[in-house]
Amino acid sequence: MKNLKSVDPQIYDLIKQEEKRQSDVLEMIPSENYTSKAVIEALGSVLTNKYSEGYPRKRYYQGNRIIDSVETLAQERAKKLFGVPHVNVQPYSGSPANTAVYLALLDPLKDKIMGLSLSFGGHLTHGSPVSFSGKYFNIVPYELNEKGLLDYDEIERLAFAEKPKIIVCGATAYPRIVDFKRFGEIADSIGAYLLADISHISGLIVGEVHPSPVAYADIVMTTTHKTLRGPRGAMLMVTSKGLKKDPELAEKIDKAVFPGLQGGPHDNQTAAIAVALLEAEQQDFKKYSKQVVNNANALSKELLKYKFNLVSGGTDNHLLLIDLSDKKINGAVAAYGLEVAGIVVNKNAVPYDKMPPFYPSGIRLGTPAITTRGMKEKEMVKIAKWINDVVEEVKGDELPKEKESRSYFWKEFRRKVKENKNLLAINEEIKEFCQKFPIP
């Protein structure tokens, strides 16, 4: 059989280019990671050829004896790792997984979802008006307080006043510990379901460096490709508490995933999730998760020395949110400059941001991927210095206040920054530095 290189040299070459890019830069987007070779091998296997609509031993297609074993193994590993009685490993990704929960439990255009507002660090699927979740359900958004922290008294007040049917906790850009116990108490007090979206922190929960929501939430959703270090995908877990509240909860969730929302599961993805779960059970993974948090902490301490304004003053987990407004540089400008220098982060809104989402005031960065490469606290000192050097270098280029002038500014800024000798020199240093920390 012909290999990829001979069948499609263009795609082969693009994959090789991406491999090199991932190896040459400091990948610091907190939702990204490097999977193991074993995960990639399972993902690129013949399991992609199979159709297996339904669930183990209840399929609509023949020939699923082996697929049943794969899916059952993934379920059993997840149940053991997170300590839950029921798991669905079929959601294609995090967004359809959250959607399936709403489909299972809510009446569209009638019931309310309460979730953290997108501009304060919630995910699109937690009720943003631009997403399905905000268009088809009534939304009760909650926000962070002025210190950039969840205000549990305010959340309780809002929940009591609005009586949502589902409260979503967990976030995309929140650097602090989430008090799942308090969320559970609030949800119970109004008879709501609590959905804990632990997509960002599931690896930290497995590594015991963040408390688990399993005792307090009814449903727990996680993507599998962030700190958990698996393939793209997601899992929906129903807890004992959830089953007590609603004995049919597991069945409702399963029916919502299939046939409610999806067709055939991606069996190669399921196998790769099973591999990632096995890896996450190992002692080494615990060490890895601890190091992710230690690195984020070390990085935040160093950045504070350079007078960066960290939302909430620091971090308890794998990510940092930096408000750049007092450095007089826009988040989009900083992210672009950092990429030219070899540090890949994302622009991000900060609490009470006065700027629009495309030009937000902050950047978000994290340590999961660079920790997988073996970097430790010592390396964070270097990285903080590079971040500061880049920000100082590009900081004079302020984004125009008038919308009309922005596209011209961007074109000119990108042209200039791409040729900036100081940034290119940092890029060379980073490339050399990265060689010492090979990707898996």
Ligand X SMILES: Cc1ncc(COP(=O)(O)O)c(C=O)c1O
Which residues in this chain contact ligand X in the complex, by CB under 6 A?
A: 31, 93-95, 98, 123, 125, 170-172, 197, 199-200, 223
Task: Point out the catalytic residue in the list 12, 24, 50, 53.
Answer: 53
Q: Look up 232 and say whether it is catalytic.
A: yes
Task: Point out the catalytic residue in the list 79, 182, 232, 252.
Answer: 232
State the residue for tokens 């508490």.
241
User: Tokens in use for 42?
Assistant: 């399972």
User: Tokens in use for 130?
Assistant: 């631009």
* Cα(366)–Cα(319) distance, integer angstroms: 4
Return the number of the residue (86 or 123) whose C-beta is nearest ligand X. Answer: 123
Q: Look up 12 and say whether it is catalytic.
A: no
Q: Look up 226 and say whether it is catalytic.
A: yes
Q: Look up 71 and say whether it is catalytic.
A: no
* Cα(229)–Cα(369) distance, integer angstroms: 9
Return the number of the residue (127 or 148) whose C-beta is nearest ligand X. Answer: 127
Return the number of the residue (187 or 298) whose C-beta is nearest ligand X. Answer: 187
Return the number of the residue (117 or 427) whose C-beta is nearest ligand X. Answer: 117
* Cα(10)–Cα(273) distance, integer angstroms: 29
Measured CA distances, 35 to 65, 200, 224, 230, 402 (Å)? 27, 15, 10, 6, 43
Return the number of the residue (112 or 200) whose C-beta is nearest ligand X. Answer: 200
Residue 39 CB, nearest approach to ligand X (Å):
16
Residue 231 CB, nearest approach to ligand X (Å):
11
Residue 3 CB, nearest approach to ligand X (Å):
29
Q: Look up 197 and say whether it is catalytic.
A: yes
Residue 59 CB, nearest approach to ligand X (Å):
25
State the residue for tokens 């009470």.
352
* Cα(356)–Cα(244) distance, integer angstroms: 43
User: Tokens in use for 401?
Assistant: 């206040």
Return the number of the residue (31 or 317) whose C-beta is nearest ligand X. Answer: 31
Task: Point out the catalytic residue in the list 71, 77, 172, 197.
Answer: 197
Q: Is 247 exposed, middle or buried (0-12, 13-18, 19+ CB in 10 A)?
A: exposed
Instruction: Give all strands (DSSP E) within 268-312, no chain letters.
Output: 309-310
Residue 94 CB, nearest approach to ligand X (Å):
2
Task: Point out the catalytic residue in the list 12, 24, 32, 51.
Answer: 51
Residue 404 CB, nearest approach to ligand X (Å):
32
Return the number of the residue (52 or 199) whose C-beta is nearest ligand X. Answer: 199
Task: Point out the catalytic residue in the list 226, 229, 327, 364.
Answer: 226
DSSP 3-state assignment of 51? Answer: coil
Q: Are strands 346-348 and 112-116 parallel, antiparallel or unpaired?
A: unpaired
Q: Are 63 and 70 in contact (CB under 8 A)?
A: no
Task: Point out the catalytic residue in the list 125, 223, 239, 371.
Answer: 223
Q: Look up 246 and say whether it is catalytic.
A: no
Residue 96 CB, nearest approach to ligand X (Å):
7
Q: Which of 315, 324, 285 is nearest to 33 (CA)?
A: 285
Return the number of the residue (116 or 186) whose C-beta is nearest ligand X. Answer: 116
Q: Is 404 exposed, middle or buried (0-12, 13-18, 19+ CB in 10 A)?
A: exposed
Q: Is the peptide bond before 56 cis (omega within 30 degrees of 0)?
A: no
* Cα(318)–Cα(320) distance, integer angstroms: 7
Q: Which of 247, 185, 184 is nearest to 214 (CA)?
A: 184
Residue 62 CB, nearest approach to ligand X (Å):
31
* Cα(367)–Cα(396) distance, integer angstroms: 28
Cα 127 from chain centre: 17
Q: Which of 85, 99, 92 is nearest to 128 (CA)?
A: 99
Using Cβ positions, the residue closest to ligand X within the complex turns out to be: 94
Enumerate the active-site residues: 51, 53, 197, 223, 226, 232
